[in-house]
A = this chain, B = another copy of it.
């Protein structure tokens, strides 16, 4: 019998390959993604697939500007402080406040951020992950872990608002959710709007999508009343949902990129895109939990954590761009300030 650990690792490996292949085939003349396998000293490995172009004062003309599609399959010992925090959502984790003992954990996930070069083509982020806490570092197939859960999501961050694109993105991932229960999409769409919010700018990072965590076989705080028809409960059923959400990535995003990647653009539009990338940096460095957790973790692979940052970002003091009423830039800002239903 194959363990969930192996099944997730196999799934994300295949998905990574499909996504990288899809992106490469959009732009056959561009340099390929660099594939970079790394080992983690404390246990496990990862494969980073990264796209970039050499620096030049005259910008390159590739479809992508910077992109990373990474997987990691790691295990190790969870320190008491992390155990304490995880117990909030997972009461099955034993916790003795006097104990300094660590618990074995396993985590496997895929994480991607794609920053296209064209200001009309949106940035996208997706992440799907499985987490397990055991009482032994190498559990036998068939033995139940102490706790396990899935998390993930996907969200779109355009510089210019094309309603058709945003609707397509949201409908595609909503359909993937709805096939596994009606409670999923409303809960995870709302969570996404709440999570990707930049308080000091009073605006969202992007136009939303899905965000979820701690999805397992117990009641979920975001869907407290969901019965077995409204959401998946077993590990098999949740993994089936996660696979469908992961598989929805390519159809949710690639058609948008194809449609916008050759749209002519002006210097003014490039400037606005770089300013929006500045906001992306602000969210990721100041608020993103995964990034903050990674930066604070001794021995974390900083290069993989910060691959989400754009190649280039820009900051202007009191920029007037986006403030002129009914401009294309202001239209985007308006929906960033007031999240909408798109599907």
Q: Give the contacting residue for A311; candidates B282, B300, B315, B318; CB below 8 A.
A: B315
Task: Give residues 278-313 of A contacting B (CB, 8 Å).
Answer: 278, 281-282, 285-286, 292, 295, 300, 302-303, 306-307, 309-313
Q: Give the contacting residue for A281; candidates B48, B55, B285; CB below 8 A.
A: B285
A274 to B307, CA, bound (A): 16
| Contact indicator B267/A55 (Cβ below 8 Å) | yes
Shortest distance in angstroms between A100's beta carbon and chain B's nearest beta carbon?
A: 23
| Contact indicator B313/A317 (Cβ below 8 Å) | no
Chain B residues with CB under 8 Å of A200's CB are 295, 300, 302
| Contact indicator A314/B312 (Cβ below 8 Å) | yes
Interface residues on A, range: 35 or more
Shortest distance in angstroms between A308's beta carbon and chain B's nearest beta carbon?
A: 9
Chain B residues with CB under 8 Å of A199's CB are 295
- A313/B313 contact (C-beta < 8 A), A200-B302, A271-B55, A285-B286 known: yes
Task: Give residues 42-61 of A contacting B (CB, 8 Å).
Answer: 48, 50, 52, 55-57, 59
Residue A268, interface by CB 8 Å: yes
| Contact indicator A317/B267 (Cβ below 8 Å) | no
Interface string of A91-120 (1 = CB under 8 A from B): 000000000000000000000000000000
Task: Give residues 25-80 of A contacting B (CB, 8 Å).
Answer: 36, 48, 50, 52, 55-57, 59, 66, 68
Residue A222, interface by CB 8 Å: no
- A314/B311 contact (C-beta < 8 A), A57-B59, A59-B57 known: yes
Residue A164, interface by CB 8 Å: no
Q: Which residues of A does B touch, CB under 8 Å?
A: 36, 48, 50, 52, 55-57, 59, 66, 68, 199-201, 267-268, 270-271, 274, 278, 281-282, 285-286, 292, 295, 300, 302-303, 306-307, 309-318
